[in-house]
Amino acid sequence: MSDKGRIVIKLGGGLITKKNKIKTLNKYAINKVCESIKILIEENYKIIIVHGAGSYGHILSKEMRISEGVRQEIYEKQIKAIKQIRENMRELNDEVIDSLERVNIDSMGFPPSIWAKNTGKKFTGDIEIFNKNIGEIIPICYGDVVQRDDEKEFGILSGDDLMYRLSIEIPEVNYTIFLLGDVDGVMDQPPENLDAKLVSLWKKNDFIRTSHNSEIDVTGGMDLKLIRASEIAKKVDNVWFINGNYPERIIQLIRTGSTIGTKINP
Ligand code: IPE
Q: Say what the pLDDT of residue 204 is.
A: 82
Q: Is 69 left (phi over 0), alpha (psi -120 to 50) or beta?
A: left
Q: What is the pLDDT of residue 205?
A: 77
CA distance 21 to 24: 6
Whether residue 60 contacts residue 77, with contact meaning beta carbons closer than 8 Å, is answered with no
pLDDT tens digits, 204-245: 877 665 554 545 566 667 778 898 999 999 999 999 999 999
Q: pLDDT at position 197, please?
A: 92
- Dist. CA 63–CA 78, nearest whole Å: 9
Q: Read off the pLDDT of residues 43-84 as tens digits, 9 standing for 90 and up.
A: 999 999 999 999 999 999 999 999 999 999 999 999 999 999
Regarding the domain delimited by 6-265, which CATH topology (the fold level of the hierarchy) does it fall under? Carbamate kinase (3.40.1160)
pLDDT(1) > 70 = no
Tell whether ligand 1 has an atom less than 6 A from the beta carbon of residue 67.
no
Buried residues in 107-123 as b, exposed as e (16+ CB within 10 A): bebbbbbeebbbbebeb
Tell me, yes or no, if the pTM score tops 0.75.
yes
Q: Is 156 in the pocket of ligand 1 (CB under 6 A)?
A: yes
Closest CA to 164 of 102, 215, 122, 210: 122
Distance (Å, whole) CA 14 – CA 78 = 24
How far, in Å, is the centroid of ligand 1 from the Cα of 190? 20
Task: Tell me the per-residue pLDDT of 108-147, one tens digit each, with 9 for 90 and over.
Answer: 999 999 999 999 999 999 999 999 999 999 999 999 999 9
Read off the pLDDT band of 190 (50, 70, 90): confident
User: What are the respective helix, strand and coil percentages of the chain, to the nearest 5?
Assistant: 40, 20, 40
Instruction: Give me the mean pLDDT over the 29-33 stretch.
Output: 98
Q: Is 125 in the pocket of ligand 1 (CB under 6 A)?
A: no
What residue's CA is closest to ligand 1, atom 8? Answer: 158
Q: Which residue has the higher pLDDT, 169 or 222?
A: 169
SS3 112: helix
pLDDT for the residue numbered 114: 98
Chain centroid to Cα 60, Å, comes to 19
- CA separation for the pair 69, 109 (Å, rounded): 25
Question: What does the mean pLDDT of the chain come to?
Answer: 94
Q: How far, in Å, from the CA of 55 to the mean position of ligand 1?
A: 9
Domain borders along the chain are 6-265
pLDDT tier for residue 85 given thresholds of 50, 70 and 90: very high
